[in-house]
Amino acid sequence: MTGLRLVVFDVDGTIVDSQDHIHGAMEHAFTEVGHPLPSRAEILSIVGLSLPEAMARLVPELPAVAQADLVEAYKGSFGRMRADRLSPLFDGMADLIVRLRAEPETLLGVATGKSRRGLTHVLAGHELQDNFITTQVADDHPSKPHPSMLLAALAETGVPARDAVMIGDTTYDIQMGRAAGFHTIGVSWGYHRAETLAAAGAGRVVETAGALADAIDDILETA
């Protein structure tokens, strides 16, 4: 291991529980466009992808212009909901982030399908914005599972991939991490099932923030 290690988190489904906002915004968008709403399970299955990619997977039968209309309607609705109520943190995640930030050898990052504006709102709302040295968002990169976000995080921090771990709740996070040469940890409290994360190649799948802390140490200390 080098002198530094990089721990990168997904946001929706990993740090914050945003499923009610996501489903509500989707419901509004599909109503506005006049297309039947996919099931809740279908909607949550695409969390983590950039919005254009998410809509393309949800309604591939619609023309590109209708998918773009859904994207814009979703953005407007989600922004209004976000202004009214902040998505809550998952249990133990704030304490874990603050604890890791205090370790001199640990650098923290974010790789999210959210926009820069959305990420700033969430982190500032929970007073976590000063903990992350690198923040990669959908505005600047191809959608997950493309490794662009994580490669940028490596370039910004100077940490080699062998000393880095990607933590997320979806197969897109795990696939992205593996494509970038990162270690990977799946969390079971998000939007994809634990067995699905394991099948995607997650190095570990954990059920609590405490177990996540232990897994980070175990993986990076033996790297």
User: What CATH number should be reported for the domain holding residue 145?
Assistant: 3.40.50.1000
Computed over every residue of the chain, the mean pLDDT equals 94
Instruction: Give yes or no: residues 77 and 116 share one domain.
Output: no
Instruction: Give yes or no: residues 198 and 110 share one domain.
Output: yes
Please give the biggest Cα pair distance in the chain: 55
Is the model's pLDDT at 2 over the cut of 80? no
Q: How far is the C-alpha of 109 from the C-alpha of 63, rounded, in Å?
A: 36
Is the model's pLDDT at 223 over the cut of 70? no
Instruction: Give yes or no: residues 102 and 160 share one domain.
Output: yes
Amino acid at 83: A
Give yes or no for a contact between 184 and 174, defined as CB atoms under 8 angstroms apart.
Answer: yes
Q: How far is the C-alpha of 117 from the C-alpha of 120, rounded, in Å?
A: 5
Q: How far is the C-alpha of 22 from the C-alpha of 74, rounded, in Å?
A: 9
Instruction: Give yes or no: residues 77 and 160 share one domain.
Output: no
Q: Is this structure's pTM higher than 0.85?
A: yes
> What's the structural domain count of the chain?
2
**Which pLDDT does position 1 carry in this prediction?**
42
CATH number, residue 28? 1.10.150
Instruction: State both tokens at 169.
Output: 């709740």
Instruction: Give yes or no: residues 176 and 101 share one domain.
Output: yes
**Which pLDDT does position 80 carry in this prediction?**
85
Q: How far is the C-alpha of 146 from the C-alpha of 29, rounded, in Å?
A: 26
**Which pLDDT does position 169 carry in this prediction?**
97
> Residue range 93-104: average pLDDT?
97
Instruction: Give yes or no: residues 128 and 75 share one domain.
Output: no
Out of 31, 52, 84, a domain closes at: 84
Q: Which residues constitute the domain of residue 79?
A: 19-84
Amino acid at 71: V
Q: How far is CA 176 from CA 52, 95, 118, 143, 211, in A?
A: 18, 26, 21, 10, 22
Instruction: Give yes or no: residues 107 and 175 share one domain.
Output: yes
Out of 56, 84, 112, a domain closes at: 84
- Give the 3-state secondary structure of residue 164: strand
Instruction: Give yes or no: residues 101 and 40 share one domain.
Output: no
Q: How far is the C-alpha of 204 from the C-alpha of 197, rounded, in Å?
A: 9
**Which pLDDT does position 202 carry in this prediction?**
98
N residues, the chain: 223
18's CB contacts (< 8 A; 6+ apart) are: 12, 47, 87
- Calculate what percentage of the chain has a pLDDT beyond 90: 86
pLDDT digits (tens, 9 = 90+) for 53-93: 999 999 999 999 999 999 999 999 988 887 778 899 999 99
**Which pLDDT does position 82 carry in this prediction?**
76
pLDDT digits (tens, 9 = 90+) for 107-161: 999 999 999 999 999 999 999 999 999 999 999 999 999 999 999 999 999 999 9
**Which pLDDT does position 122 carry in this prediction?**
94
Give yes or no for a contact between 28 and 77, defined as CB atoms under 8 angstroms apart.
Answer: yes
Give yes or no for a contact between 90 and 15, defined as CB atoms under 8 angstroms apart.
Answer: yes
